[in-house]
Amino acid sequence: MKKILSLLASASLIATSASAVVACNKGGGDSIGLLISNYNNAYFQNMMKAGKEYAKEKGYTLNTYDSKGTVDGSLDVENVQASMTKGDKAIIINPANVKQNKAITPALKANIPVINIDTEYDSAVGERGAAAFVSEQTEASNQMFDAIYKKIYGEAPSETNKSKKVKVYAMWSNQDNDAEQKRFKGFVLDNADWIQLVNRPGTGYHQGSVAKENQNTGDGAGDTLTNEWNGDNSAKNAHVIWAGNDPMALGMKKAIDLSPSMKTWFSAQEDGTNLRKGFISGFDGSEDVASDLGKWKETERNHIYITVKQEYKNIVAAAIDKAIELIKSKDPAPKNFTESTKVPASLMFAPGEGTKK
């Protein structure tokens, strides 16, 4: 009888232990690293939260690492090493520096799958990783310009109205950033015939202003805009302020709104015309910008007018799915992708504006 009870107890212990292992693997088995260029951005904060929840559903832990907007890529290097040391089975990276792949080289040599997210390494660097998942940014930015052009001139840009220019003040966080370049191309470069850039015009991507210290923050953009307000590169001469991301759009909106002399820009008209100024465009579709954009109206224009909503949940889920596929594969992960996978994005208008013809 004692022997039977002992066997039953052992069986119960084994079953309990097995259940504990399954429960542990459900939310804390193998891990994946997610390296973000800068936590100080609501869009990326939402992406990290969604990614952690999705990875947990798939039985993985998502470890996150912050490159703090360090554009020289030095923290990318440190964070990849930290991810490898922690034992992450795959690395999903939103690189702070897209011009060199030094950060991911050790992971590639170790046959750890590397996936680009939101921003992809420049193809000229060589090996970039197995895959990339990014928003469709150029076409969405083009559509955003068309919407603003129609708002200002009452017609779409065409071959017959190239003399009607939209004056644009452009603000970057980093002119070498792949994502911002795609946005600038769609909004400015592809519409050069209908645009007059009011700050540091030139050719290619090195036009416009760069936020103070290249930080991906609203305060940096607001400080730069304020410092330029009374000079030759002033946003007060523009119909539209283009921001490379939502935090900068909000930062510049805040800087203008807090200054009584600058705030008149929101309701101003171009000299000698009835063309309205005071439009700010962003990119990301973060919740704080969506909230601000929802307050815009013709009688209360000191808010963001339009932005592009990136589907961060779809982007990070696709990257995690690909990481898991590569982790489980018996073959080494590819070290260089040819084309990134584009995830659709959509325009977000001020209330009622997007429905107007």
- Please tell me the predicted confidence (pLDDT) of residue 280: 98
Based on the domain organization, do 112 and 258 belong to the same domain? no
Based on the domain organization, do 66 and 171 belong to the same domain? no
Virtual torsion, Cα 51, 31, 91, 74, nearest 10 deg: 100
Q: What one-letter code names the amino acid at 39? A: Y
Buried b (16+ CB within 10 A) or exposed e, 154-173: eeebeeeeeeebbbbbbbbb
Q: Is residue 2 part of a domain?
A: no
> The tokens of 350 are what?
């001020």
Based on the domain organization, do 51 and 70 belong to the same domain? yes
Based on the domain organization, do 319 and 278 belong to the same domain? no
Q: What is the pTM of this model?
A: 0.82
- Please tell me the predicted confidence (pLDDT) of residue 228: 98
- The CA distance from 212 to 199, in Å, is 15
The candidate with the shortest Cα–Cα distance to 35, out of 68, 58, 61, is 68
Task: Output phi, psi for 126, to 5 deg.
Answer: 100, -130
Based on the domain organization, do 221 and 178 belong to the same domain? yes
Whether 254 and 226 have beta carbons less than 8 Å apart is answered as no
Based on the domain organization, do 123 and 199 belong to the same domain? no
Q: Is residue 105 part of a domain?
A: yes
Based on the domain organization, do 164 and 305 belong to the same domain? yes
- The CA distance from 194 to 31, in Å, is 49
Based on the domain organization, do 80 and 225 belong to the same domain? no
What's the burial of 31, exposed, middle or buried (CB within 10 Å: 0-12/13-18/19+)?
Answer: middle
- The CA distance from 76 to 141, in Å, is 28
Q: Is residue 5 part of a domain?
A: no
Based on the domain organization, do 160 and 192 belong to the same domain? yes
Q: Is residue 216 part of a domain?
A: yes
- The CA distance from 185 to 118, in Å, is 16
- The CA distance from 326 to 298, in Å, is 51
- The CA distance from 217 to 119, in Å, is 17
Q: Is residue 20 part of a domain?
A: no
State which residues form the domain around 85.
29-135+312-343
Q: What one-letter code names the amino acid at 228? A: E
Domain count, the chain: 2
Kindly give the parts of the chain with pLDDT less than 50: 1-28, 357
Based on the domain organization, do 165 and 178 belong to the same domain? yes
- The CA distance from 236 to 240, in Å, is 9
Based on the domain organization, do 281 and 230 belong to the same domain? yes
Based on the domain organization, do 351 and 241 belong to the same domain? yes
Q: Is residue 8 part of a domain?
A: no
Q: Is residue 13 part of a domain?
A: no
Q: Measured between alpha carbons, how far is residue 127 from residues 10, 79, 101, 326 in Å?
A: 53, 18, 7, 17
Q: Is residue 7 part of a domain?
A: no
CATH number at residue 117: 3.40.50.2300
